[in-house]
């Protein structure tokens, strides 16, 4: 018996929707880049000196453009995931360095939100064969949530260890936590928790959808433990792949 009837197929409407999303997102990319660079030229002062007020408003505009750029990027990723077209560029990757770099990249935001991030890799962590950019995106999304969905002072602890043939990552926070009811939904596309929306009205609900797809396509798995009001810990593992002999 042929197996093809068991193949999971998405509905035609579904395909059209993610195709339209991806076309629109593509079309937005270059105008956004144009707006961004124009704003940067004006802000640099090379067209004339700016008052403090003018600088302030330009900074706001630039921040908003940056937000749109990352939304467009997430929409494109989500559409690629729907169309099973997320491409990975696999290379031997040092996860310890990747995580350190990610933490460095969010340092300004961490300071602004009064979060402290500590990283505790345990023992020797071998190189893993993954798409470093994509895994960094996944790690960034998890840390981003830990910093944003906090109550008071964010204490974030990131761990990394090798267990058997797996590298296990965890990110523990002491934030708002996730209710049992919402726990089933947080990896769904566009889903945002009620408390999360209250705390931070802007957000797309794409972060964990994309993160899960990246981890699973890399041969890993993502999960979490959380109690409402009592923090969350997000975990993923990635397989340690032995180098193939030629």
Which one of Mg ion, ligand ATP, none interacts with residue 178, CB within 5 to 8 A by kind?
ligand ATP
Which one of Mg ion, ligand ATP, none interacts with residue 149, CB within 5 to 8 A by kind?
ligand ATP
Buried b (16+ CB within 10 A) or exposed e, 197-231: eeeeeebbbbbbbbbbbbbebbebebebebebeeb
Q: What residue has token string 């928790």?
A: 193
Q: What mask of x and - would describe binding to ligand ATP in positions 45 to 84, judged by CB under 6 A? A: ----------------------------------------
What is the C-alpha separation between 117 and 103, in angstroms, rounded? 8
Q: Shortest distance, CB of residue 79 to ligand ATP, whole angstroms?
A: 14
Q: Of 78, 208, 214, 222, which lies in the binding site for ligand ATP, with binding defined by CB under 6 A? A: 208
For ligand ATP, the binding residues in 171-200 under the rule CB under 6 A are 173, 175-178, 186, 191-193, 196
What is the C-alpha separation between 162 and 13, in angstroms, rounded? 43
Q: Which is nearer to Mg ion, 122 or 216 (CB)?
A: 216
Q: Is 207 in the site for ligand ATP (CB under 6 A)?
A: yes
Q: Which two tokens stand for residue 66?
A: 């940056």
Q: What mask of x and - would describe binding to Mg ion in positions 132 to 171, judged by CB under 5 A? A: -------------x--------------------------
DSSP 149: S
Instruction: Tell which residue, 22, 25, 34, 21, has the closest CA to residue 65.
Output: 34
H or E stretch including 192? none
Binding residues for ligand ATP (CB under 6 A): 141, 145-146, 149, 173, 175-178, 186, 191-193, 196, 203-209, 232
């Amino acid at each position: 018996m042929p197996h093809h009837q068991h193949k999971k197929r998405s509905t035609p409407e579904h395909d059209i929707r993610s195709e339209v999303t991806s076309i629109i997102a593509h079309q937005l990319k270059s105008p956004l880049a144009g707006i961004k660079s124009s704003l940067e030229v004006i802000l640099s002062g090379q067209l004339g000196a700016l008052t403090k007020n003018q600088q302030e408003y330009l900074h706001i505009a630039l921040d908003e453009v940056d937000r749109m750029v990352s939304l467009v990027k997430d929409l494109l990723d989500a559409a690629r995931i729907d169309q099973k077209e997320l491409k990975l560029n696999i290379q031997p990757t040092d996860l310890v360095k990747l995580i350190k770099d990610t933490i460095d990249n969010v340092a300004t935001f961490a300071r602004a939100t009064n979060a402290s991030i500590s990283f505790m890799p345990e023992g020797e962590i071998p190189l893993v064969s993954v798409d470093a950019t994509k895994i960094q995106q996944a790690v960034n999304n998890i840390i981003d949530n830990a910093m944003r969905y906090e109550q008071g002072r964010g204490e974030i602890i990131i761990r990394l260890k090798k267990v058997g043939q797996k590298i296990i990552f965890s990110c523990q926070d002491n934030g708002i936590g996730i209710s049992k009811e919402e726990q089933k939904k947080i990896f769904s596309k566009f889903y945002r928790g009620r408390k999360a929306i209250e705390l931070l009205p802007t957000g797309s609900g794409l972060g964990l959808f994309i993160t899960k797809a990246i981890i699973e396509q890399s041969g890993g798995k993502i999960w979490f433990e959380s109690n409402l009001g009592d923090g969350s810990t997000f975990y993923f593992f990635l397989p340690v792949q032995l180098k193939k002999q030629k």
